[in-house]
Structure 1
Amino acid sequence: MSIPAQNNESIPSRGDLPHTKTSARLDKFVTKIGEYSSWLWVITIGFILYSVISRYLFGQGSVMLEEIQWHLAGAAWLIGLSYTLVDNEHVRVDVLHERLSRRTQAWIEVFGITLLLLPFLFISLNEMIPYVYSSYEQGEVSISPNGLPYRWLIKLFLPLAIVLLIIASFSRLLRVIALLSNKKGKN
């Protein structure tokens, strides 16, 4: 039983898509934020280690420490979404996609971004802004005893992540359109 050869003409990685001036600036912006926010994972691991050591060696658990852990992990994950889109490292189901021509893949990406991803992100942003504002107005705090105050701060990462995804999606769209308009991309 032989495995069919993969189409090596798939949508290229970050370095293979042509840049426009705008997409280069947008990608640089999202990449810098992604690089800086990757430190949230180091901080999260530090809180996890401190919490585990405190709980198991000294018998002192803390609800606040546990909430900080999952809030930081959630924030890092949300910000990382746009970073992975810029680097073309996001998860895809390429069973059929990989067998298509590069041009067809690019057209699918254009339609996917414009008809599915961007509308979804704008609707989500429209819902998240009032959600965060309501939390801020109410002075929302954790329902757990000794939990975190200022719940709106963690909720602020939702619209921030969506804005970054919109920027990364728009940049990706510009790059795919540049590929389609380039004669080399028309095979």
Structure 2
Amino acid sequence: MLSIIRSYVRAVDALNRFTGLVTMHLIFLMIGLLLYSSISRTLFDTPVNSVVTISQFLMSAYYLLGGGFSMQENAHVRMDLFYSRWSSRRKAGTDAFTSIFLVFYLVVLMIGAISSSVYAVKTGQATRTLVPYPLAPIRIIMTIGIFLMLLQATSAFFKDLAKARGVTL
């Protein structure tokens, strides 16, 4: 059983690392798009109306697809009142316990994301902007991002549980 969990943890960590490293580069695309918009508006007096909407989509994809990688790298915000003084085994036990709540939250979020994605695809839901962009792609990206974070949360749970027991995965 330990080898199956070890394989799962390695596969999920590799998937989220790859996704996070690729997703990191979306910020440069967004910066380039906003810079283009700024230059075209200032120098040529031709505003690009859809830049804000596209930038919001890119930022959403950046945030959602990078969640699992951020969790893997411990780059998220943590309330550290007592935590830093604890032993690494106690930290791991506490993290394993709180991971259960995170997984529950992500499952509920995943159900909502799937429902929202299906609705956007079925109805052809679009933005209410000058150019009506379809919302289905960003909703699907949202669902994928939440799924990746759910996978990473379960991976972190297994790693923390093993660490709390004194075993290394």
Q: Report the TM-score when normalising by structure 2.
A: 0.90
Separation in 2 of the partners of 1:155 and 1:103?
38
2:13 matched residue in structure 1: 27
Instruction: Report Cα offsets for 1:92-126 as digits up to 9, x if no partner.
Output: 01121112222221111011001x10000000111
2:160 matched residue in structure 1: 176
How large is the RMSD of aligned CA atoms in angstroms? 1.6
Of 117, 120, 128, the match for 2:105: 120
Separation in 1 of the partners of 2:48 and 2:15?
37
Amino-acid identity (%): 23
Which structure shows the higher helix fraction? 2
Higher relative contact order, chain-length normalized (CA < 8 Å, sep 6+): 1
The 8 Å contact of residues 71 and 154 in structure 1, kept in 2 or not, is answered as: yes
Letter paired with 1:167: L
> Unpaired segments of 5 or more residues in structure 2?
none
Separation in 1 of the partners of 2:51 and 2:77?
31
Separation in 1 of the partners of 2:54 and 2:31?
11
1:150 matched residue in structure 2: 134
Q: CA deviation at 1:54?
A: 1.0
Instruction: Report Cα offsets for 1:2-32 as digits up to 9, x if no partner.
Output: xxxxxxxxxxxxxxxxx93321221011100
Instruction: Report Cα offsets for 1:46-93 as digits up to 9, x if no partner.
Output: 111111111111111122122101110111011111111011121101
The 8 Å contact of residues 92 and 160 in structure 2, kept in 1 or not, is answered as: yes
Separation in 2 of the partners of 1:137 and 1:151?
11
Helix, strand or coil for the counterpart of 2:157?
helix
Max radius of gyration: which structure? 1
Separation in 1 of the partners of 2:92 and 2:126?
45
